[in-house]
Amino acid sequence: MTNAAAEAAGALQAHRPMLLGLAYRLLGSRHDAEDVLQETYLRWLGVDRSTVDEPRRYLSRVVTRLALDRLRARQAARETYVGTWLPEPVPTVPSPFGPLDRVELRDSLSTALLHVLERLTPPERAVYVLHTAFELPYTEIAEILDRTPADCRQLHHRAVTRVRQEQRRFTASRSDRERLLDAFLAAARDGDLATLTGLVAGDAIAWSDGGGRVRAARNPITGSERISRFFAGIYGPHRRWTTRRLELNGEPAALLTRDDGNRYALTVTAAEGRITGIYLVGNPTKLPPAG
């Protein structure tokens, strides 16, 4: 590696956790986020770095623009995806995205929020992430997106409005979600439909992402009774599973492994003491390594 390449790599490495976290929040895919960082490095390598006053700001701009390009291209590809597309779950102990010491940083990684952000336009998502998670002022966001601060403020307002419509469904504390997740898994394992139905809100929704590679429900499952029957059927006493608790995306999660080797990552959202959303990711290209 040349001195210039080593210098460029060192500067990128110094900001890597933040940049990776930015790309991941924009894309919901660790794999795509790593690709964006690699392309950012190549562009950074070709820049006259003596003209860059703030490498962090410059690199953030490149990462954001590359991620937006991928988001726009992905919209067409998503039409051929088999079943529901869910964000890629990422272990966060330790966090590859740097410290998650602020509530906004941790919450902006949650599977539920990333799933909601998929419904925003790419510019709305970018402004929401940059302003809410990273606390960038609208003037700096405007520079990144080549828009006016007023445009960015309006984009953020629209994004927040849409996010808040869904956030009422995931207001439970971390301890409540842990308790409900444990109780849900225990009742499903026992095939206890009555307990399961009592744990799940009547308007709850369960999403499954198998990507056409493993068995999964291709459409969302709605309602406490249908969700309870589904999970009692796949996870009940006649099935053989091993369960490992871990933290994914800054939240309580379970990694479920069936006796045929297929694995699924499970997280839940909750409000008012009941589960309101279930996210089950089985696509093996999205799951963390076994062990």
- pLDDT tens readout for residues 202-243: 999 999 999 999 999 999 999 999 999 999 998 877 778 999
* pLDDT at site 249: 97
Among 257, 238, 236, 237, CA closest to 246? 257
Number of domains in the chain: 2
Q: Mark whether 220 and 135 lie in a shared domain.
A: no
Structural domain contains residue 244? yes
pLDDT score recorded for residue 163? 95
Claim to verify: residue 11 and residue 147 sit in the same structural domain: yes
The H or E element containing residue 67 is: helix 55-77
Q: What distance in Å separates the CA atoms of residue 43 and residue 34, rounded to the nearest whole number?
A: 14
Residue recorded with tokens 């207001």: 171
Domain with 252 in it: 174-281
Domain assignment present for 144 = yes
84 and 131: one domain? yes
Q: Does residue 289 form part of some domain?
A: no
Q: What gap in Å lies between CA 171 and CA 141, rounded to an integer? A: 28
Give CA–CA dist 96/99, Å, rounded: 9
Does the residue 286 lie in any domain? no
Residue that is last in its domain, among 167, 186, 217: 167
* Integer Cα distance of 109 and 119 in angstroms: 16
State the residue for tokens 């924009």: 26
Residues 9 and 114 in one domain: yes
Q: What's residue 290's pLDDT?
A: 74
Q: Would you give per-residue pLDDT tens digits along the chain (291 residues)? A: 577 677 777 878 999 999 999 999 999 999 999 999 999 999 998 888 778 888 899 999 999 999 999 999 887 777 788 999 999 999 999 999 999 988 889 999 999 999 999 999 999 999 999 999 999 999 999 999 999 999 999 999 999 999 999 988 999 999 999 999 999 999 999 999 999 999 999 999 999 999 999 999 999 999 999 999 999 998 877 778 999 999 999 999 999 999 888 999 999 999 999 999 999 999 999 998 876
Residues 277 and 197 in one domain: yes
Alpha-carbon distance 32 to 70, whole Å? Answer: 8
CATH of the domain at 260: 3.10.450.50
Are residues 153 and 104 both part of a single domain? yes
What is the distance of C-alpha 222 from the center of its chain? 21
- Amino acid present at 250: G
Residues 77 and 112 in one domain: yes
* Domain at 38, CATH number: 1.20.140.160
Q: Do 133 and 223 fall into the same domain?
A: no
Token pair belonging to 250: 């800054």
| pLDDT tens digit sequence for 4-46 | 677 777 878 999 999 999 999 999 999 999 999 999 999 998 8
Within a domain: residue 15? Answer: yes
Find residue 275's DSSP bridge partners. Answer: 200, 270
Is 192 in the same domain as 151? no
- Give the pLDDT confidence score for residue 217 in this predicted structure: 94
Same-domain check for residues 49 and 143 = yes
Tokens found for residue 109 = 């990684």
